[in-house]
Amino acid sequence: MTTWTLAELAHRFDGRLTGDPGLRVRPVPAEADDPHGIAFCEAKSYLKRATKVGALLLPPGLASPDKPTIHVDDPRAAFGVLLAELDRPMPLADGVHPTAVVDPRAVVDPSANIGAYAVVEAGAVLGPRVRVLPFCYVGENCRIGADSVLYPHVVLCRDVRLGERCSVHPGAVVGVEGFGFRRGEEGWRRVPHVGEVHVGDDAEIRALASVERATSGVTDIGRGAKIGNLAQVGHNARIHEHAMMVPMSGIGGSSVLGRRSVMGGGSLAGDHVDIADDVSLGARACVTRDVRDAGVYRGYPARPLAQQLRVEAVQPRLPDVLRRLERLEHLAAARDAQPHGPSGEPGPPR
C-alpha cells in the first residue's frame, strides 16, 4: 500500500504539522490499532476513538497533545483525497474475452472491453471505453454510454439505456419485468411490461438493486442519481437528478422522487406518490401520500420532523392517557345512570 510522510501530506494540504515530519502513514479508521495509520477527526468526541493510530488529521482549534497532527480546513476531504489515490479499478483485459458471447448484430466500440463469460445480445450498443466485467448479461437493444462500467453479474434485461460514466454494481438487475398482476377469476394474472429503463449520465446503481422496466413508456433514473444496495425502483417510477435512495429503500410504481431528495435506509414510498425536491426521508419512513414541501420527514406515515417528534414524545404516555380517558368515561356513565329529579338535578340516592 502507498504511504506518505507527514511532511508530504502537510505540504499537499497546506496544513500545519505538529510532530515527526518523517513518519510514514497510510489512511486507517479512527479505531485502528496501527502506529503507521493516519485517521481524521472532526470533533473532540472522536478523539476518544483514535487512541492507537499514529497520526491525525484535525480541523483548526482541535488538538491532540499525544500524537502527531496535521491541521487542515477540512479533514474529511483531505482523507478522501488519500482514499482516492488508493482506489483501483477491477482488473479487465483489453478487448473481448474469448469466452464472451457477443451476438454479431450487437455494436461494440473497438475501445470497449468485455470480460469472461459475459453475454451481449442482438441490438445492444456498447460505447467508447465501456467495461463489461465477467458474467454480465446485456440484453437485447440495451445501449451503454461511454466510460460506463458493469461490474460482475450485472443483468441488463432488455431495452435499457445507460448514460455516460454510469456504474452498475455486482448483482444489480436493471430492466427486470415489473411486479404487476391483476386478479382474475382463476387467481392473479401477470401484466406484461413492455417499456424501457433510461438511466442518465453519472448515475450509480449499487449491488443487488432492482430497477423495473415500465409497463409501457419509461422508468427514468435521472442524471447523477444514486440507487443504493438492495434498493427497489418500481415500474414507471421517476428518480430525478441527483436524488439518492439509501440501501434497502424502495419506491413504488409510477411514483416520483424529486431532485436532490434522499430516501433513508429502509424507507418506502407507495405507488403513485410524488415526493418534492430537497426532501429528506428518515430511516424507515413510509410515504403514503404526496410530499409537496421540501424538508425532513420521519415516521409512519411520514410527517414533518417537528410534528413527528411531538408524536414520539406522546407515545410513551399513551397507556396512562388511555387509562384516564377510560376512568372519565366510566364516571360519566355512572353519573348519567343516576335518577334525575324534576329540576334536572340528580335525585336522592335510593
193 belongs to the catalytic site: no
Task: Return all residues near 279 (Cβ < 8 A) that are at least 6 apart.
Answer: 258, 261, 262, 291, 293, 294, 295, 296, 297
Which residue type sits at 177? E
Task: Return all residues near 343 (Cβ < 8 A) that are at least 6 apart.
Answer: none
54 with 38: CB under 8 angstroms?
yes
Could you tell me whether strands 137-138 and 119-120 are parallel, antiparallel, or unpaired per DSSP bridges? parallel
- Strand, coil or helix: 104: coil
How far apart are the C-alpha atoms of 321 and 45, rounded to whole Å? 39
Which of 169, 235, 240, 242 is labelled catalytic? 235
Half-sphere exposure (CA, 13 Å, Cβ side) for 295?
Answer: 12
How far apart are the C-alpha atoms of 213 and 155, rounded to whole Å? 13
- List, by residue number, the catalytic residues: 235
